Amino acid sequence: MSDHGAGSRAGLARFRRGNPGREETREVVRHLLAGCSECRTATSRIWPTARAPEATDPRSDGSNPADYDYSEAFARADRTLARHQVQFAEERGDVPHLRRELARHPRSRQGVLAENSARFHTWSLVESLLDDYRPLCQADPEEAAHLARLALRLSDRLDIEGYGRERVCDLQARSWAGLANVLRVQEKYRESEQAFARARQLLRIGTGDPVEQAEVLSLEASLWSSRCHFGRAITLLDRAISIARRLGQRELWARTLVQKAKYSTDRGLPEEALPLLLEAQKHLDPTFDPRLVATVQHNILYALVQTGRFEEASAGVAGTRALYRKLDYPVDLIRLDWLEARVTHGLGLLEEAESRFRKALNGMLAEGLDYDAALVGLDLAVLYSQQNRNPEIRELVAAMLPVFSSHSIHREALAALVVFREAVSRERLSTALAQDLAEYLRRAAVQPQLRFQPPPGLASR
């Protein structure tokens, strides 16, 4: 609000989105009725068409607004809010049943069933689908795409009169952005770009909710990062960060800072990532998404390892492991095993590091994460090169090359692997070359155009 702090502005944003608390609703209504023109303009899109001023404006008779009795206005607002709360509570209660009913049918049938039956045309069901698609983007992109498309089809069937045209446009924009995000993961970049364009178009005719805009900006930033246009990605993300900061949306603020830190890591700049992650950590709250809390902690440890601060990283491993165990994320625990192996290696505990690398390698193979397993193998090769254990290195190389080749990595990465293989076969592998190759392939996974540059003199051996 114009004369209040970030917390009040955040309250106004939640009021416009339809999810404030009861006391916060009363505070916002009181502020608006008292005559704040800026905030009235900001919320004008969610009000019904106003009646004539003399019928609605308590100041039309020239009286002091402070003397006006707002109790009836508050009572009407409370009754309206109560009706909406009951409606949404009923909708949310129906969601598990509707999701189970859909799940009994094949994907091809679910869309047709949902489109042709009005009981599926609810705001809460669409939000449920959008909540569930995102965690599946990497693990099961086909299912994630199905959920996003289903949310999009249902958002087109929502009752405009009941929910409000502009709010429905916001939800449709969120659905298009969700689909665009899945298409990005599937490397369908042109289709993703088109879907984001549609999301932006819908936002322009929606409520103008800045939080919705920030969410779309952060997702679109991921598209441009995936295409290695980091400048454009960071520009979009900085806009999202600015919105989150201005509105006091601490969770969104933390998430966007983590995202920006990832872009720094992807570019091989962990020293830039670390302060962003530490700032994100300041905004975390126990009520936030616990996965976000764990992700921030894990990424801080990773940045510490990348910058050679192994003692500090070691001190944080146990707490992060406890979080993952509580959340029951086995894959994240395996990735943490890998990170801890790198920590112990950095501390010079070679025997312990080898055991931890082997544990992470076996865990990734069991989960079908063969590309990550090959990267762990490279870390093991670095350790073995320090001990001149060439037979073990040759064994690792023989296992890794088919994995990288099967993932259709680009020509530069394959050329780097050939250099590595030749160095091993001639027993001329240096620890520096093994380290450089391991780091290069980690970065090449997100920067396909990246060229491998071995240390001087090593490429020709």
pLDDT tens digits along 119-142 = 889 888 999 899 888 878 877 888
Distances from the Cα of 111 to the Cαs of 103, 140, 149, 170, 382, in angstroms?
11, 19, 9, 21, 51
Is it the case that residue 53 has pLDDT exceeding 50? Answer: no
The answer to which of 65-74, 83-92, 276-285, 329-338 has the lowest mean pLDDT is: 65-74
Distance separating alpha carbons of residues 278 and 268, to the nearest angstrom: 18
Q: What is the pLDDT of residue 187?
A: 85
Q: How confident is the model over 235-264, as a mean pLDDT? A: 93
**Of residues 155 and 394, which shows the higher confidence score?**
155
Model pLDDT for residues 206-221, shown as the tens digit of each residue: 999 999 999 999 999 9
- Angle CA 144–220–115, to nearest 5: 40
The pLDDT value given to residue 393: 84
DSSP class per residue in 264-304: HHHTT-HHHHHHHHHHHHHT--TTS-HHHHHHHHHHHHHHH
Torsion of CA 276, 282, 288, 289, to 10 degrees: 30
pLDDT above 90: residue 93:
no
pLDDT at 89: 66
Average pLDDT, whole number, for the chain? 79
Specify the range with the lowest mean pLDDT, choosing from 13-22, 65-74, 247-256.
13-22
- Stretch 408-424: mean pLDDT: 70
Residue 410 is predicted with a pLDDT of 62
Give the count of beta carbons closer than 10 Å to the beta carbon of residue 330.
12
| Residue among 128, 32, 117, 132 at smallest CA distance from 88 | 128
Kindly tell me if the per-residue pLDDT of 199 is higher than 70: yes
Q: Is the pLDDT of residue 60 over 50?
A: no
* Least confident among 39-53, 93-107, 225-239, 284-298: 39-53
Domain definitions of the chain by residue range: 336-461
Tokens 């126990």 -> residue: 286
Region 188-208 average pLDDT? 94
Three-state DSSP class for residue 21: coil
